[in-house]
Amino acid sequence: MHTNGNAAEVLPETLGTNHLHPVPKLLSDEEKIAVIRLHFGKIMETLGLDMTDDSLRDTPQRVAKMFVKEIFRGLDERHFPNITTFGNNYGYSGMLVEKDITLHSFCEHHFLPIIGKAHVAYFPGKKVVGLSKLNRLVGYYAKRPQVQERLTMQIAQGMQEVLGTEDVAVYIEADHQCVAARGVEDTKSSTITNYFGGRFQEPEERQAFLAALK
């Protein structure tokens, strides 16, 4: 089975779907880059930066390309990873855990980095998936302006859709630079969010998953 993300994201209204609207979908990547380059250049000028300086002249273009092609590419559903599932021919029924997945995202409130680890698990039914595909799924949803609660739910929902099972778990621990680099400037705290679906709602299975993360 292949999936390319055509299925609509269905999430509680309180979490939303990254506040997407149709206009950007009508623009090519190059058109988006041109618009962002123009406006980011104006921001830099407003801050009093010398845009004729060799070090700064091309910064608006670099930032615009980074936004569209890299750190926010998950806003374009065409970049949903091509995930192939396989039949569970061995009849494996135990928990499958993929832990310590590197996570880089950006908070939607200040556009500052969220850096942490994601741990995911599922109980195979009729389908299994290559382990690297779980990393790609996490990366796809992370490459958007995010809040950690919604990111957790989106990863869980994506796994459920791909694997055809409710039995998934997601655990994220991350540092938020909007807390560390501004405001209270707390460099010690981290944020933990989790989702437990299906069998993982049972205390025994939940504890087994959490124990596997230690």
For the question of residue 2 being annotated catalytic, the response is: no
Given 61, 77, 104, 110, the catalytic residue: 110
Given 107, 119, 146, 205, the catalytic residue: 107
For the question of residue 39 being annotated catalytic, the response is: no
Alpha carbons 36 and 59: distance in angstroms, whole number: 11
Given 45, 109, 201, 202, the catalytic residue: 109
Cite the DSSP H helix spans in the chain: 29-46, 59-66, 131-142, 148-163, 177-180, 203-212
For the question of residue 148 being annotated catalytic, the response is: yes
Given 98, 146, 154, 176, the catalytic residue: 176
**Residue-wise burial string across 54-90, b where 16 or more C-beta atoms lie within 10 A, e elsewhere:** eeeeebbeebbbebbeebbbbbbeeebbebebeeeee
Residues in the chain: 214
Q: How many CA atoms lie within 13 A of 109 on its CB side?
A: 9
Please report how the helices 131-142 and 148-163 are oriented relative to each other, as an axis angle in degrees rounded to 10: 140
Of the candidates 139, 173, 141, the residue with the CA atom closest to the CA atom of residue 154 = 141
Given 77, 104, 108, 161, the catalytic residue: 108
For the question of residue 79 being annotated catalytic, the response is: no
The contacts of residue 88 (CB under 8 Å, 6+ apart) are 124, 125, 126, 127, 128
DSSP state of 89: T
Cβ contact 191:148 at 8 Å = yes
For the question of residue 21 being annotated catalytic, the response is: no
Annotated catalytic residues are 107-110, 148, 176, 178
